[in-house]
Amino acid sequence: MSTHHDGPAGPSRRPVIRLPHEREIFARQRGLQDQIADRITAFAGSMAFVYVHIAWFTGWILVNEGLFGRSAVFDPFPFGLLTMIVSLEAIFLSTFVMISQNRQAARDNIRADLAFETTVRSETWSVHIGRALGLDPEEVEQQVRESVAQSRKRMDEQAGRSNG
């Protein structure tokens, strides 16, 4: 897609450059199973999850300690059924957390790819602009390397002072 622009030199065409946002790319890769896993992980990491479990454990223990009569007891102390259910829940929740971590790693890779592409674009444009201004790209690159080396040296010195 292009737009027309009347600049000092008359009408010109400006390309409209639009890089995809990582959220767009990530959303295209996200299926129903991923959405379900994300919702479960989001709920499991909330205070509502904690409150539900407090109520559930309290109710379970009160019922099975005979508070509502001996006929209501279905899992007497030491609550073997509750222990098994909680263990199974922990297995599934840890799996959902790992799924979420894998998806976050995939999202981080998408971000890194887009950042790399943006950096390459910037460097390419900078070289072309520099040449148009009559600058020597190799001389500029040498100055950049020296600046980066000095910056790293200062950071290393500061890190050495804070560690020592």
Into how many domains does the chain fold? 2
Q: Are residues 85 and 149 in the same domain?
A: no
54 vs 14, higher pLDDT:
54
Q: Are residues 95 and 140 in the same domain?
A: no
The residue among 105, 131, 146 that closes a domain is: 105
Cis amide prior to 137 (ω within 30 degrees): no
Q: Are residues 92 and 25 in the same domain?
A: yes
Is 3 a domain residue?
A: no
Q: pLDDT at residue 109 above 50?
A: yes
CA-CA distance, 127 to 129, in Å (whole number)?
6
Q: Are residues 90 and 63 in the same domain?
A: yes
Q: Which two tokens stand for residue 111?
A: 């971000």
Q: Per residue in 52-108, pLDDT tens?
A: 999 999 999 999 999 999 999 999 999 999 999 999 999 999 999 898 888 889 889
Q: What's the pLDDT score for residue 6?
A: 47
Q: Are residues 93 and 126 in the same domain?
A: no
Is 110 a domain residue?
A: no
Q: pLDDT at residue 8 above 60?
A: no
Q: Which residues constitute the domain of residue 137?
A: 118-158
Q: What's the pLDDT score for residue 7?
A: 46
Is 11 a domain residue?
A: no
Position 83, amino acid: T
Which band of pLDDT confidence, cut at 50, 70 and 90, is reported for residue 12?
Answer: low
Q: Per residue in 116-159, pLDDT tens?
A: 998 999 989 988 899 999 998 888 889 999 999 999 999 999 98
Q: What's the pLDDT score for residue 77?
A: 95
Is 52 a domain residue?
A: yes
Q: Which of 6-20, 37-51, 93-107 has the lowest mean pLDDT?
A: 6-20
Is 8 a domain residue?
A: no
Is 4 a domain residue?
A: no
